[in-house]
Amino acid sequence: MGKDKEKGKRARGTGEESLNPGKLARLIYPEFRFGVTDPDQAQKLVELGVGGFCFYGGKAGEVYEASRALKAASETPLVIASDYENGAGQWVAGATELPSNMAIGSSGSEALARRKGEITALEAKALGVDWIFAPVVDLASRPSNPIVNVRAFGSGMGLVSCLAGAYLSGVRSQGALSCLKHFPGHGGTETDSHLALPVLDKNLQELEEDLGPFAALAAQADSVMVGHLSLPALDANSPASFSKEVISGLLRKKLRYGGLVLTDALNMKAVSDEGRAGVKAFLSGADVLLYPEDPFALHSALVRASNDGIISGAAVELALARQDLMARRLLSFRSSPPPFETVRCPEHLAFNAEAAPACLAWAYGGNSFRVRPGETIGYFEPLAEPGRWKGGAFADELFRLGVRVEPYRPGCGMRLTAGIFSGPRAGSGSINLSTEEKYALEAAIAGAAGSAVLAFGSPFVLNGLENRPSAALCAFCALPEFQTAAARALFGGMHPGGTMPVSLA
């Protein structure tokens, strides 16, 4: 044997057997997007040996059948994951969508946070989904952040740690796996990582508050997702998700985290070369490579790296051992999952209406705007025609309470209620109000005899309004039950019990 070949074999550590292609495939978790992903292609990925899939979309029955079929075809314990941050209904038609984290943050209630985790886990397990990529423990510290916002419990480290901890306990109690994201904290950035690489210009001391929830909760969580963001003070050359300084140094050594680490989705525009980036992420300490655009190409890149002696067998075995340990936590629950009828059951549907009064919060003016039976109120959504309103449940509840709701007409003595629906949307690159929407809202407020703005999403839409409304009520999400509660609050029939979990300018 030549010297080069001998050197390559020594570099591979445990030898050829531990680096077979199937083991390398288990590092990869591709997407399965209902209505887009070819089931035959997914079957080929199972045959390749991928560790699991990340599900997006689908009807409840479709998700259930697909998870069963894929798991039955796999020779290894296939793990199905999904981004059910606000319940399975956030992605699955026919499941229960739950309030945003910031709505729960407004309530300050550990009981509500835990129940959100329980319901999410129960419905996920009933659908065959094992791994919930939640909770988000980023801090909502920048109003202009286009990707965190209401996904965070709030801006305070203590509040986020407390409520995320309660959520984690709820998830674990029902047999699902959890994930803290996005390490080391995405809240201080202003760029959507689905479009470009955000930069977090903080040194280690300045990162302490962002790191707080991860440090407090890492021992409770089943996994940690590392975000695609640049921290020049820690690593000037690589994003956090591909950085040995961030993953092996900061997360594993400084925070002493020994559990499973996964990358954020590798198809995001913050990543330029999936194959190279995936190899680098693994070498930096990641155990799972999530959602590449081309999983077969990523697998080929991993095989090449192993053949070249870049990836060692010992590192692969350690990553797979962490996956196996996580999968073993599912065994007792996999044998007796919740019945399919658990999905969108009456008890889960009732949670939103029960939680809403504790979650809504007055930003200001709580006693200065009330509606009365028999009154005519104008309703308005910036740049939206009446036929395209998102606030139908709000308007319907006002009507049920005896209030006549009409499209708002300025300058005629009409009082105004304005519904604002703004929240994080991957790939949008922006949040809150556009210049045109802000101008339209301010013009509407200026022409009203009195006004109330209802923030059915981001509370930061209230920042910087030159014409300030008489009152502003934050619901932090657009669920019909929260719209109904907002109407009752204006009517005086319900007292919002929440406290603003973020500060407004």
- Catalogue the active-site residues: 194, 264
Distance CA 381, CA 359 (A): 22
Q: What secondary structure letter does DSSP report for 252?
A: I
Do 70 and 42 meet the contact criterion of CB atoms below 8 Å apart? yes
Burial degree of 38 (CB within 10 A; 0-12, 13-18, 19+):
exposed
CB 79 within 8 A of CB 323: yes
Q: What tokens does 310 get?
A: 């870049």
Place of tokens 């977090």: 200
How far apart CA 301 and CA 311 sit, in angstroms, is: 11
- Which tokens in the block code for residue 218? 């890492």
Is there a contact between 60 and 341 (Cβ–Cβ < 8 Å)?
Answer: no
How would DSSP label each residue in 314-352? HHHHHHHHHHHHHHHTTHHHHTSPPPGGGTT-HHHHHHH
Edge-to-edge strand order for the sheet containing 415-420?
A: 361-364, 471-474, 451-455, 415-420, 376-380, 404-407
The pairing of strands 376-380 and 415-420 is parallel
SS3 488: helix
Identify whether 184 is preceded by a cis peptide bond (ω within 30 of 0).
yes
DSSP lists the bridge partners of residue 270 as none
Q: Which of 27, 26, 25, 5 is nearest to 15 (CA)?
A: 5
Determine the Cα–Cα distance for residues 122 and 132; give it in Å rounded to an integer. 11
Q: What is the DSSP string of 408-441?
A: --TTSS-EEEEEE-----TT----S--HHHHHHH
* Amino acid making up residue 308: D
3-state helix, strand, coil in the chain (%, to 5): 40, 15, 45
Q: In the 8-state DSSP scheme, what is residue 151?
A: G
| Amino acid symbol at 27 | L
Is the N-terminal amide bond of 135 cis, ω within 30° of 0?
yes
Cα dihedral angle (169, 281, 210, 479), rounded to 10 degrees? -50
